C-alpha cells in the first residue's frame, strides 16, 4: 500500500493505493505498524478496507473494525447494523473507491484506490472528521473518529452505510 498527500484550495486529501487489501486483523496490525492510527487518514483508509473485507468474510471484517475501534469494540447491535446494511448492498463497500460508478455496478479500478478528504468543519475537542465520496451519492459521507492518546479510533460510521444509487444491474429504470 502507498499513500500520497494531495493539497488543494479546499484543504488536504490523501490518496491510498492498495496493491493488496488486508484480509484479517493480523494483516491490518502489520499495516498499522507502518501507517499508524496517529494519522486520521490511515484509520479511515483501513476502515474502508475493513468494509471491503466484511463483504467477503464478515468475521474477518468485524475483527478488523474492532482493531480500529480501540478500547471500545463493536457491540452486538452495531454488528447487526453492519450486517443489515450489507445484506442487499454487497456493492456498497467498493462504491467509495476510484472508478466505481452506478453504470459499472460499482466495480472499482485495480489496484483499488481510495481518496479521503479532510472535513472543513471543525470537530469537537477529542474528535476528528474525514469525508469519503462515492459517485453513488451527491454529498460526501462523514466518518467520525475519537482521539485517545494521540490515536484516532473509529467512532461514528453510519453515514457511510446509508443507501446510494442502485448499480445499473439492479436499477429497474435503466
Q: Residues 155, 144: contact at Cβ < 8 Å?
A: yes
Residue 167 inside a domain? The answer is no
Q: Say how many domains are in the chain.
A: 1
3-state secondary structure 17-55: EECCCCCCHHHHHHHHHHCCCCCHHHHHHHHHHHHHHHH
Domain that holds residue 51: 2-160
Residue 110 inside a domain? The answer is yes
Q: Position of cell 490518496?
A: 15
Residue 166 inside a domain? The answer is no
CA distance readout (Å), 130 to 80, 89, 117, 146:
24, 23, 6, 12
For 68, other C-beta atoms within 10 Å of its C-beta total 24
Residue 20 inside a domain? The answer is yes
Supply the pLDDT for residue 9: 60
For the stretch 78-127, pLDDT in tens is 999 999 999 999 999 999 999 999 999 999 999 999 999 999 999 999 99
Supply the pLDDT for residue 10: 67
H or E stretch at 147: strand 141-148
**Rounded to whole angstroms, how far apart are CA atoms 86 and 79?**
11
> Tens place of pLDDT for every residue, the chain, 174 residues?
787 877 766 678 999 999 999 999 999 999 999 999 999 999 999 999 999 999 999 999 999 999 999 999 999 999 999 999 999 999 999 999 999 999 999 999 999 999 999 999 999 999 999 999 999 999 999 999 999 999 999 999 999 999 999 999 998 887
Supply the pLDDT for residue 4: 83
Residue 72 inside a domain? The answer is yes
Residue 165 inside a domain? The answer is no
Residue 63 inside a domain? The answer is yes
Residue 58 inside a domain? The answer is yes
Amino acid at each position: 500500500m502507498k499513500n500520497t498527500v494531495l493539497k488543494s484550495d479546499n484543504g488536504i486529501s490523501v490518496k491510498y493505493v492498495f496493491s493488496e487489501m488486508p484480509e484479517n486483523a493480523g494483516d491490518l496490525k502489520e499495516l498499522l505498524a507502518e501507517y499508524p492510527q496517529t494519522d486520521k487518514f490511515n484509520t479511515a483508509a483501513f476502515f474502508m478496507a475493513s468494509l471491503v473485507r466484511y463483504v467477503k468474510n464478515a468475521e474477518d471484517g468485524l475483527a478488523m473494525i474492532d482493531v480500529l475501534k480501540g478500547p471500545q469494540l463493536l457491540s452486538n447491535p452495531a454488528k447487526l447494523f453492519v450486517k443489515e446494511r450489507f445484506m442487499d448492498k454487497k456493492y456498497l463497500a467498493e462504491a467509495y473507491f476510484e472508478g466505481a460508478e452506478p453504470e459499472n455496478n460499482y466495480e472499482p479500478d485495480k489496484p483499488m484506490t481510495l481518496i479521503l478528504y479532510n472535513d472543513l468543519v471543525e470537530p469537537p475537542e477529542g474528535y476528528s472528521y474525514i469525508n469519503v465520496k462515492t459517485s453513488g451519492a451527491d454529498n460526501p459521507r462523514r466518518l467520525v473518529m475519537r482521539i485517545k492518546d494521540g490515536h484516532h479510533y473509529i467512532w461514528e460510521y453510519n453515514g457511510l452505510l446509508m443507501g446510494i444509487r442502485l448499480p445499473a444491474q439492479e436499477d429497474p429504470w435503466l
